Structure 1
């Protein structure tokens, strides 16, 4: 268990770790995959394609989310430009994850459905129902 004091500044690494873990777990579907790609691209541009940060991101599992969050927060504290970018990414990604959990689709009662039914939250891309 981590007994360190929470870091002051850009963000709580625990929050960032939760976001990273959620994305690795498939939260927010395609939007989550896009957010993950955005994070790795941000790290690649800031630290270089062969950097430790990028290597850790590319091999990250849900079990590693605290490690990578700590690394990113440490780097952000030392780099104001990266700090701003990471804070923006965290805020946007948190919103995307929250929105992905606010969906409530219900067909109930004595509903009689004749044809296709689509139950979804945010859709990022096309929907193909195919032939009937």
Structure 2
């Protein structure tokens, strides 16, 4: 039996903190706890029919979030999460470009649905990122 042990005393505390800041424990609509890493998240989508936020993951799965989740709660999870419209919040680390007010994401999200930046959110984007 091959047991692997990690000696935490030798780990860099900064690395541990940075790793923890990119992991989220979230409650799904069914009440299950789901561990999500930031790099797994391409974007969040608001489903107006079910009135719930959904997470689009890199493995092509969709995670439905619990009912009381709102955009402010999602945005507070990490500074890389950026709202582009009332219905979409993207993980900016996957943003390749904005073409004709549409976000083009890097793989594996490059074939994602149309992620259009609304005028009001484009203004906020340009304030936050003046080079746009």
What TM-score does the superposition give when structure 2 sets the normalisation length?
Answer: 0.23
- Higher RCO structure, 1 or 2 (CA under 8 Å, sep 6+): 1
Kindly indicate which of the two structures has a greater share of residues assigned to strand.
2
Kindly indicate which of the two structures has a greater share of residues assigned to helix.
1
What TM-score does the superposition give when structure 1 sets the normalisation length?
Answer: 0.23
